[in-house]
Amino acid sequence: MATAYAILQNEADAQDVVQEFFLDFWEKQSYRNIDVNSPIEGFKGFLIIAVRNRCINQLSKNDTRRRRLQDIMLSQEAGFLPPDNRLEQQQQQHELTTTLQQLLHPQSFKVVELAYLHGKNRKEIALETGTSPNTIRNQLVHALKVLRKNLRRL
């Protein structure tokens, strides 16, 4: 946890990364590949490197999400889109919202809205909706699968 916090500088994100690591470690049964005769330092090094790599991936995802959101906000605020494209964009956004509302449970739709339109993280959404961060993660994963599947249709 200390390694994750040192890299991410956010306790909630650090906890999420470490919990997700151990969850994947258990679900993929990676523990079966550990040599019980090896020194504990080897296993400790493995854990530190695995958590460090996940933290780096998390920082990269956060940075990408932030840049995309800034690009969208700047283009809309500055009015860089020609009038025809703004109308087209509004229609696409309406179709997307309608599709998500039809295909997703209202709670899942609320989670997607909070995450992608309001830029909130899983812990903030969990506090606001009264559910666990893992439930939020699962709802987002499901919603993105639905979205990808139906974007081809739109």
For 101-141, write each residue's pLDDT tens digit. Answer: 888 888 888 998 888 878 889 999 999 999 999 999 998 88
Domain that holds residue 4: 1-80
Query: Which residue type does 151 have?
Result: L
Q: What does the pLDDT look like over 13-37, one tens digit per residue? A: 889 899 998 898 888 887 777 765 6
- Check whether residue 98 and residue 152 sit in a common domain: yes
- Check whether residue 68 and residue 94 sit in a common domain: no
pLDDT at 60: 86
- Check whether residue 39 and residue 113 sit in a common domain: no
Structure tokens at 95: 């179709």
3-state SS assignment for residue 132? coil
54 vs 41: CA distance, rounded Å: 20
Structure tokens at 149: 């599947």
As for how many domains the chain has, the answer is 2
Q: What does the pLDDT look like over 35-91, one tens digit per residue? A: 656 666 677 888 888 899 999 988 888 888 788 777 777 766 655 555 456 677 778
- Check whether residue 72 and residue 86 sit in a common domain: no
- With tokens 């840049």, the residue in question is 67
- Taking the whole predicted model, whether its pTM rises above 0.75 is answered as no
* CATH number, domain with residue 142: 1.10.10.10
**Which helix (H) or strand (E) is 107 found in, with range?**
helix 106-112
- Listing DSSP states for 47-106 in one string gives HHHHHHHHHHHHHHHHHHHHHHHHHHHHHHHHT-S-HHHHHHHHHHHHHHHHHHHHHS-H
Q: Name the nearest CA neighbour of 54 among 123, 4, 11.
A: 4
